[in-house]
Structure 1
Amino acid sequence: MRPKRACDVCYKRKVHSEPPQRRNPRFANTDYKIQCVIENVDEPCEWCSHHGLSCTFDRETQKKSNNVQAIVSDVQELLRRVVHLENALSQIQYQGQLSDQTSPRSMPSMTPTSTTSKPQTRDIGDVARYLGQNWYHKGIPILSERGRDWIRLKTGQDAHFERFHMFGSGCNFPALPLTNLSYDELHKLPSRQHSESCLDAFFRSSFSLFYPVLDRALVQETLEMAYQDRIDSSFTRSQVSAKACILAALCMITRTVRPRDASKYLQGDPPVDQARSLLVLVSREACIEGLQATLMLQICKISIGEWKDASTLHSTACHMVCSLGGHLKQRETCDSSSVASDRKIRHIRTLFWMSYVFDKDISLRSGQPPLLTEDYCDLAIPEGYASRYGCQPPSGQGTSTFGRLAPYFPVDLGLSHVKEKTCRLLYSPKSFTIDDTQILLHIRHLDIDLESWRSSIPVKYRPKLSITSGGPLLDSEMDSLQRIICLHLQLEYHYLVTAIHTAVRRCGAAYAQAPNLPDDLHSVFHSSSDLSLEASRSTLTLLKGHINLLEEEAFWRVAFYPPVAAMSLFMNILIHPIDPRGQVDLGILASAISMFQNTSVQSLTADDIEYLQEMNNFVAELVRLGNLAIWNARKEENRESRDRE
């Protein structure tokens, strides 16, 4: 009996065997009736009989494959290929963006970003979030599309400030997990000896005075908890928080204090992602270790110019410090058994002031609503803070520390309070609904508050109203720490003068189309404008004349001030291109391009060098546009002169 399958001829023609009773009558008159139909087992099929062919069944029977297994195998192989391709694509994009945006610190094999590379386009809002919200001309915000049109009108060319990397983080990497570490790797710490060495370097440095995020006694408890063995094959929430705190401390200390032996353990980048991943695991409950870790990671982000990430961490820190009661001054007890508890309360209060200072800086720069305000926080100055300028630092670096000195914080607390009022009165949504008279009144009141603060500072440290080239700034008997304090007070004072008095250019929106302002408004307008311009000139003069101070101080702590001062002078050049003072300001801007060239490279990190390059490019762009504005104005003036003749 022949098998129930097509003959060799029909098989080659891919014609299937079909019994006659199953043939469809609808195809009776078509070619489909010629199939491998077998009437009798001893006779050839209809197709072979019809064509006179030999009907044989000699081919070997093929084994049927397991279709289900084949499909599963194909799908798995396809998935593997998709995953491989996605990973390869992500890696290519990630490396490509690193080559354009990140510093050599992140990829040691790469050099700083070339000036000829094509930068990633950013939104103009990123520039405003960095340079501030105070740049206007007759009510027109300069860092907007309308402002861009006005600059084009004055210079004849477009301004592309958003292309510079210094403005915001701007790193749009693929959405990848923070770490790909295993459980054991995620919880792994460096040797305790290394951690203790780094912490000791922190407390020996003046950095611990400006950023008192750690307490020497409390951090010992954190070390004990972090290096305890796991319980029941896992770590407790307290242990994870302590580990995150220690890792964040290593990140901050390696970046800022830079102890000599730090690089021996940290091969590549500091473990920022590892610390953040641990924080995510314990983020549901606030604790002092988690708050410290968050603030230290925020400091790391600020130090490398990643402002957006720093702002995100800041909001977390503010929530945590309020959850711990740091925004309210709590009464301490006299019970000797609660000494440790009182110390923790005082330190949480210190962490509140750290968060408060950061909050005012972020709000004034970016325009974001403040998260810690005087209406909901107790702003009573810490005990002993008033004596901070009278304390003498330790004379030697042997076993001495700065721990017994009152903390200075990144910014003077009184000045931060003036910043809060400035944000509320000049740059809050409500402030944009008031008229010109009210704006001028607010500027006057804030100027009085600022002068009151300046007068409260001891004469030795008191910021000067103006700084001239070659003029004395520092007392010759000041030590390194005192010089750094004096430098920061002076820069902060001039920055706030600029932030307050440039708001005067919000006035005059009703006269946007008029060539000149009314005389009364013009007089007040120029009074504030002159103050802000002199503050900006003083900032650049200070940094140029005392560049040696940067060898004693971290570059990233002063890098924000030159672009703001340069922007102020640039605005004045555009508004008054024919004014002789405008040409002088253009010369100041041109000299600012190379002001940091004399800084010792050894005192700069790779991130600092890249930022410095971007800042120079930005100021060079301001000089180019300022030159065009002056040239166009003079050309127009000559044309009008010829027309009158």
Structure 2
Amino acid sequence: MESLLQGSLQGDEREMEGGSQDGIAGILKYAPGRDGPNQSEVQLATGQIGREIPAARLYRGSDLTASVQRLDMSSQPVILSGPRCFLQEPYPASYLSTNGHQPSTPDWTHTALNDVFSRRIFKPLPPKFHALALINEAFDSFHNAFPIFDQTTFMEKFTETYSLAEPSDSCSDTAWWASLNVVLALAHRFRAMRTRNAHSEDREAWGYLKNALALVTELTLLSSSLLAVQALLGMAIVAQGTPNPRPCEALIAVVLRLAQSMGLHRRVQKEGLSDDDRELRKRVFWIAYFLDKDINFKTGRPPVQDDEDMDVELPVGTAYLYMPGEVRDREIDFFSLRIGVAIIQGQIYKRLCSVNAERQSEMERAVAVRELEAMLETWKRSVPIDFQADYIGTEVLTQDLPTLLHMVIIRSTYFNSLDIIHQYSPRNTEWHFENTLRAYTV
């Protein structure tokens, strides 16, 4: 690439040195309403280009990093006169001027794109008492296993939103508006599981999800806040319950890229954060992490987050859900269980499914299969769930539905992981498999 840049610059330099007045006239003659440049304009432009030649020579001999720095000085086309006349060279705009014609450059900063995004409201917010019931239901149903938001902070912003004459005015805060609609959508999704009128609840959820999805581009391009990451992560969780995996896959990819740009995947966090803020950042990252691993197993495509490029600690404080039908002092930390099995899923992909794993010998693959089976079995023994239980035809109480749902997710994740491990077992008899392992270990 550097050689191409230098070749282009050499050609530009020869053109600048040899073009003289004819070259200047060729540039200026396209200005609307002009027959051609006068003599003073030609002399002025020739002198300025002469001053640029040493800079171009210096630029040509620099390395690629210096080239990028030079281009960064003014990489936009400079309008001399009229929309069709552009000078494409990366020179500062202050170097270029003609009599009576001030150059102008477009502002390509991200703030200049604000007017491009329309914040369309597909479904207005419900009355406060109705919204409060939905939010409490959402936190009781999903937030114990997916602690995306800090409930106290969320409720403070909720109160502030409904103190406005028109709550929909809060859409000026893009990340908060998306987050609020995501939580409302999640509440309706859980209601759909509890009621026989699922179609009506799903329609309500879709309306709020559309409010949030309308802001995906803006959240991705303009926002770099933790709340934006949380909003996009919530959308991915809602989309995960749909038959099409692509929306969830795309959203998780965006979430992890934004999280990485904020350093959520690293142990060292930015200064000035409270302990609660640090824990929240960890929780947000780890939720995105295990959803990424789930999508990786479902689609067969590589995960977005590389396990070798992260050193974030595990969350300290996690919430618990009670086991239905059990003694109430027995609790399950579904959040930590999802993290644990996701780490094993990452090892399964790396050691059995990745391109590098395809280069392994049969003995190496056999050892990997045996070790991964042992890891998964160790994790299973730490889970207070009966993996052999048959829940078909079991009557489920309404209040137990969220817990049962998370149990089903844990069970299906385990069996899916075990199935993938067995798919990569050597295609031999058990006797030959044991002898292969024995020969390799000896």
Contact map agreement 2:182 2:231 (CA 8 A) in 1: yes
In the other structure, the counterpart of 1:311 is 249
Match of 1:523 among 428, 432, 440: 432
State the AA in 2 paired with 1:496: S
Match of 2:180 among 222, 242, 246: 246
Inter-partner Cα distance in structure 2 for 1:324 and 1:443? 36
State the AA in 2 paired with 1:356: Y
Contact map agreement 2:122 2:207 (CA 8 A) in 1: no
SS of 2:415's partner is helix
State the AA in 2 paired with 1:313: L
Match of 2:418 among 472, 484, 497: 497
Inter-partner Cα distance in structure 2 for 1:426 and 1:200? 43
What's the CA shift string for 1:271-316, capped at 9, x where partnerless? 3222111232332222222222211211121112220111011101
State the AA in 1 paired with 2:423: T
In the other structure, the counterpart of 2:385 is 461
In the other structure, the counterpart of 2:291 is 358
Contact map agreement 1:252 1:300 (CA 8 A) in 2: yes
Q: Within the alignment, does 1:209 sit opposite 2:147 as a pair?
A: no
State the AA in 2 paired with 1:272: L
Tell which deviates more after alignment, 422-431 or 315-324.
Answer: 315-324
Q: Please report how far the alpha carbon of residue 416 of structure 1 lies from its aligned counterpart in structure 2 after TM superposition.
A: 1.0
SS of 2:289's partner is helix
Equivalences for 1:416-435 in 2 at 5 Å?
416-435=342-361
Contact map agreement 2:366 2:436 (CA 8 A) in 1: no
Inter-partner Cα distance in structure 1 for 2:340 and 2:213? 32
Contact map agreement 2:120 2:211 (CA 8 A) in 1: no
State the AA in 1 paired with 2:385: Y
Equivalences for 1:62-141 in 2 at 5 Å?
none
In the other structure, the counterpart of 1:328 is 266
SS of 1:196's partner is helix
Q: Please report how far the alpha carbon of residue 257 of structure 1 lies from its aligned counterpart in structure 2 after TM superposition.
A: 4.1
Inter-partner Cα distance in structure 2 for 1:418 and 1:316? 23
* Distance verdict in 2 for CA 1:454–1:288, change over 3 Å: same
Q: Please report how far the alpha carbon of residue 425 of structure 1 lies from its aligned counterpart in structure 2 after TM superposition.
A: 0.7
Inter-partner Cα distance in structure 2 for 1:302 and 1:329? 28
State the AA in 1 paired with 2:433: V
In the other structure, the counterpart of 2:189 is 255
State the AA in 2 paired with 1:191: P
Q: Within the alignment, does 1:372 sit opposite 2:305 as a pair?
A: yes
* Distance verdict in 2 for CA 1:235–1:322, change over 3 Å: farther
* Distance verdict in 2 for CA 1:329–1:468, change over 3 Å: closer
Contact map agreement 1:295 1:314 (CA 8 A) in 2: yes
Inter-partner Cα distance in structure 2 for 1:328 and 1:345? 11
TM-score by length of 2: 0.57
Match of 1:415 among 337, 341, 351: 341
Q: Please report how far the alpha carbon of residue 351 of structure 1 lies from its aligned counterpart in structure 2 after TM superposition.
A: 1.0
Equivalences for 1:473-512 in 2 at 5 Å?
487-504=408-425
Contact map agreement 1:324 1:348 (CA 8 A) in 2: no
Q: Please report how far the alpha carbon of residue 499 of structure 1 lies from its aligned counterpart in structure 2 after TM superposition.
A: 1.0
Q: Please report how far the alpha carbon of residue 323 of structure 1 lies from its aligned counterpart in structure 2 after TM superposition.
A: 2.6
Inter-partner Cα distance in structure 2 for 1:365 and 1:264? 27
Q: Please report how far the alpha carbon of residue 378 of structure 1 lies from its aligned counterpart in structure 2 after TM superposition.
A: 2.2
Inter-partner Cα distance in structure 2 for 1:265 and 1:293? 19
In the other structure, the counterpart of 2:377 is 451
Identity of matched residues, %: 19
* Distance verdict in 2 for CA 1:365–1:319, change over 3 Å: same
Inter-partner Cα distance in structure 1 for 2:269 and 2:121? 42
* Distance verdict in 2 for CA 1:216–1:257, change over 3 Å: farther
User: Looking at both structures, which has the greater relative contact order when contacts are Cα pairs under 8 Å and sequence separation is at least 6?
Assistant: 1
Contact map agreement 1:244 1:275 (CA 8 A) in 2: yes
SS of 1:219's partner is helix
Contact map agreement 1:248 1:297 (CA 8 A) in 2: yes
In the other structure, the counterpart of 1:270 is 207
SS of 1:209's partner is coil
In the other structure, the counterpart of 2:218 is 281
Contact map agreement 1:425 1:431 (CA 8 A) in 2: yes
TM-score by length of 1: 0.41
State the AA in 2 paired with 1:523: H
What's the CA shift string for 1:379-434, capped at 9, x where partnerless? 5332245x95xx75899xxxxxxxxx885239522111110000011111111222
Contact map agreement 1:245 1:293 (CA 8 A) in 2: yes
Inter-partner Cα distance in structure 1 for 2:350 and 2:338? 19
Structure 2: where are the runs of 5+ without partners? 1-116, 326-330, 392-399, 438-442
State the Cα RMSD in Å: 4.3
Inter-partner Cα distance in structure 2 for 1:271 and 1:286? 23
Inter-partner Cα distance in structure 2 for 1:221 and 1:287? 18
Inter-partner Cα distance in structure 1 for 2:209 and 2:401? 30
Inter-partner Cα distance in structure 2 for 1:487 and 1:332? 37
Aligned residues: 304
What's the CA shift string for 1:144-166, capped at 9, x where partnerless? xxxxxxxxxxxxxxxxxxxxxxx
State the AA in 2 paired with 1:190: P
Inter-partner Cα distance in structure 2 for 1:364 and 1:419? 8
SS of 2:149's partner is coil
Contact map agreement 1:213 1:296 (CA 8 A) in 2: yes
